[in-house]
Every structure is written in structure tokens, then in C-alpha cells.
Chain A
Amino acid sequence: MQGDHTFCPDWVRQHWGDTLGPALVQHIELTAIAIAIGFALSFTLALLAHRFRWLEQPIGVISAVIYTIPSIALFLLLVPFTGITRTTVEIALVGYTLVILVPNFVAGLRSAPADVLEAARGMGLTGRQIFMRVELPLAVPAIVGGLRIAVVSTITIATIAAFLLPQGLGYPIFLALKDPTPFKTEIYSAGALAVALALVCDALLVGLRRALIPWARQT
């Protein structure tokens, strides 16, 4: 079947169980872990930056620096510390989610207009109540917006993780590319799964925003 010219549905059917299925599951695992840790860390950092304004500048600078590091370089850079492990991949993936999430979360927490905050204070809300009932709900669009970018980006970066680890949807593609005449079906099917996974997750997050803040104008 090597060196064929068309897409081969039979290959997909035969190798779903031993190649594509497991790769998809691994890909989802890699992404989910990175997003969960990234979300928790980013939220903490954003709260700190929200409270202590002077932290915003350094956080922004560090984020910008991390973002310019190409993912393959970052994966490799971590190898001397954490070896060729899932930890290495997750540290890099989490790093990139921070860069996306923290600025978005901070912007979201800042998005409550001053007169709204004043009105809340005038109604007798405490600082904690203002945060829970005013600032946080108003931050939801920015938070979900950041999550959409972070999830989709993590899914695409995770394909590169296969350079390091034989895991995820990038692995079948790397294997196919090692062949002088790459097997197209393997590339197309794994690639399509990665794109589909990203698009589905993006749509799910749009749905989540709709469920969380049904009153907001939807775009």
C-alpha cells in the first residue's frame, strides 16, 4: 500500500484500533492535562496580577519571551532536566497555555467598568462579593476566549510532541514522513483527526460560554 495516490479508507478502518484510536486518546490526554494545570496556574497568576498591579509588567514580559521559543526547541531544552518523558512535554505545553491564558484572564478581570464597580460598592457589596458577582461574570467572555485559543493551540503543539515521545496524533505523521514515499492515508487521517479535535473543542467552548453567560450578546 506504500506510495499510493489516493486516500485508503480500508487502512483507516483496519488501523483505527492499533494506531489512530490510541493516538487520539493520547492526544486528548496530553491536551487535557496541560489545560487543567495551565488553567489553575493562570488563574492564580491572574488573580495575583489583578491584586498587585506591579506584577503585570514582569508577567507580560516573561510570557512574551516564552512565546517566542519554538516548541521543538523548548521540548529539547527540557530534556536535560526531565528526560524524554511526558513530564517534559507537559511542562512545555503548560508554559504555552500560561502565555495565552494569563493576559486574557487579567484583561477579563479588568473589564468591569469603574461605574459598575462603584454601583456594586454603593449597594453594599463587599470586596469578595464584588469579585464573585460582578468581576468574575464580566470576565467570562475573556476567560473563555483565552481558553479557546489555549486549547486549540495546545492541540496543535501537541502534534510536535511526537518528535520527543511516541504519543499523540503527530506520531503516525512522523512515522509516515520517515518513509521515502510517505503513506498518504496515514498523514491525512491523523492530520484530519487533529484538526477535527481542535474544531470540536473550539465549538464546545463556544457552547460553554453560551451556557455560562446566556445574557451576553453572542458573536
Chain B
Amino acid sequence: MLADTANLHTFVEAFRFIGDNPGFLATKALEQVELSGAAIGVALLVAMPLGITLGHLHRGSGVAIAASIFGRALPSLVLIAAFLTVLGIGFWNNMVALAVLGSGPLLTNSFDGVDGVDGDAVDAARGMGMTGLQILRKIELPLALPLLFTGIRVATVTVVATAPIAAIAGGGGLGDIIVNQASYRLSGVLGASFCVMALSALVFLALFALQAAVTPRGLRRTRVLIDQPRKELL
């Protein structure tokens, strides 16, 4: 729990903390990026192929729905704490917990994206003699790209923003400062919080720009507002 008495001057001190410790904060931020990157990598390798395959086969909508409901309902704190009891303290428990956290939106969105591709387009492709794999590669994946990317964006922002909680379970990163007010005082905690926010915002913007860049021109009608990342984000 926090003990310092806080006032507006704390904000000034928070920025002074950032100014005084740029190298230290960068190291911590890098730790957080490593942990998040590993978790997203694992989630991408596991959840996305699974969602795409199920979507291509139009099977397992129950799995996708369950993933979306449970994915939202599992608090990150609970996941991290639960994996800590299984895998012990350190990198792995956090990595696995964050990977599970990111898998929900990835699985749901890639399933929805591929499963929801216009059946007429797929029929036309089949009529032209395309094989299942060709249909997947040339028709379904390009048309599903916006949703695939939404999944990636939501999963990434969720994981990056949740990573600071991982410090409670030995995950390192900027969270180390946030959970250690005894050493860094409220100003340090707030400074680290600003860095966490900046990092999340940076990742969010980068992915948004990337999504705009890779979306096929024909699909650039923006309907962005409804897709909600889960937010208990740390």
C-alpha cells in the first residue's frame, strides 16, 4: 500500500525522477518489452494459427466464444498469481500468464475474421479451381486482415499494459519501481507510471499505423470503434 502523502508537487518530482534516471528507466522498460515480446510471440504462434484453422474449417465456434468470454473474465492478477504457484517466481510464470492473456483476443479475432469471410467469395474461388490452402492464402487471409490485426493490436496492448503487474511475481520491468514505493517513493512510482503509459501509448500508435499500412486498399473502411481491448490492463 502507498503511504506517502501526495500532492501536486509530487508530479513535478515524478518528472524530476524521470529526468534523473533515464538509463535506469530505459533498462527497466527494455525488460518489460522483452517479457511482453516473448509472451506475444508465444500467443501469436499458438492462438493465431489455431483461430485461423478453426475459422477456415468453420468449426469450433464454441471454442472461440469460450475464449472470448473467459479471456475477458480472467483477471490478469489472478492469472499471474495462479501461474506463480505452478511455475514459481520469475520470468516463466509471468511469460506464460501474459501469453494466455494475449491468446484470448488473438484466437477470437482470427477465428471471427476467417470464419466471417463472405461465403460467395470463397465459392467463387473454389469455382475457379483453387484448393483449400489457396483459398486460405489468397482469399480468406487478406479479407480477414483487419480483424487479424485487431486481434494483434488488442493482445499486444493488453500484454504490454499488464506487464507492470508482473513485477509482483518477479517479472521485472517498470513494475519493479511501481511496486516498490519503499525505495522509490511516490515520485518514483509516479514517474515509472508515466513511463508505463508512454510505452503503452507508443505500442498502441505503432500498431495502429502498421495496421493502416498493411490493410489492403479495398478494405480501408474504418470501423474501429467497437473493438475493445480488455481493460484491466494492469
* Cα of A9 to Cα of B85 in the assembled complex, Å: 17
Q: A69, A77, A81, A187: which contacts B85 (Cβ < 8 A)?
A: A187
Contact check, B75 vs A68: say whether CB atoms are below 8 A apart: no
Q: Name B197's contact: one of A68, A107, A160, A198 (CB within 8 Å).
A: A68
Is B200 in the interface zone, CB < 8 Å from A?
Answer: yes
Which of B1, B193, B201 is in CB contact (< 8 Å) with A68?
B201
Pair B78/A72 contact, Cβ less than 8 Å: no
Q: A17 contacts the other chain (Cβ, under 8 Å)?
A: no
B231 near A99 with CB under 8 A, answer yes
Residues of B within 8 A of A64 (CB): 204
Interface residues of A, CB < 8 Å — how many? 54
Bitwise, A32-69 to B at CB < 8 A (1) or not (0) is: 00000000000000000000000000001000110111
Query: Which residue from B7, B75, B200 sits with its C-beta under 8 Å from A156?
Result: B75
Chain B residue contacts of A79, Cβ below 8 A: 2, 6, 10, 186, 190
Q: How many A-B residue pairs have CB under 8 A?
A: 163
- B194 within 8 Å of A by Cβ? yes
- Chain B residue numbers with a CB within 8 Å of A84 are 1-2
Interface hits, A157-198 → B, CB 8 Å: 157-160, 162-166, 170, 173-174, 176-177, 182, 184, 187-188, 190-191, 194-195, 198
Say yes or no: is B92 at the interface (Cβ < 8 Å to chain A): no
Measured between beta carbons, the chain B residues less than 8 angstroms from A67 are 157, 228-229, 231
State whether A68 and B78 are in contact (beta carbons under 8 Å apart), knowing that A80-B7, A96-B231 are contacts in the complex.
no
Contact A76-B72, Cβ < 8 Å, known A103-B225, A159-B232: no
Q: Which of B21-29, B46-54, B127-135, B164-172 contacts A (4 or more CB under 8 A)?
A: B164-172
CA gap between A19 and B168 in the complex, in Å: 21
Report whether over half of chain A's contact residues are helix, strand or loop; otherwise say mixed.
helix
A23 at the interface (CB under 8 A from B): no
Which listed residue (A100, A155, A162, A177) contacts B169, Cβ 8 A? Answer: A177
Residue of B nearest to A173 (CB): B81
Instruction: List chain A residues, Cβ under 8 A from B11.
Output: 80
| B232 contacts A153, C-beta separation under 8 Å | yes
A100 touches B228 (CB 8 A): yes
- Judge whether B84 is part of the interface by a CB distance below 8 angstroms: yes
- Tell me if A152 is interfacial: C-beta within 8 Å of chain B: yes
**Mask of A69-103 contacts with B, CB within 8 angstroms, 1/0:** 11111001101110110000000000010011001
- Measured CB to CB, the nearest residue on chain B to A104 is B226
Give CA–CA (A65, B82) in the complex, Å. Answer: 30
Contact assessment for A80 and B72 in the assembled complex, using a CB-CB cutoff below 8 Å: no
Known: A107-B226, A187-B82, A195-B75. A77 touches B193 (CB 8 A): yes
Listed from nearest, the 5 A-B pairs whose CB atoms lie closest are A191-B78, A198-B73, A157-B232, A73-B193, A156-B232
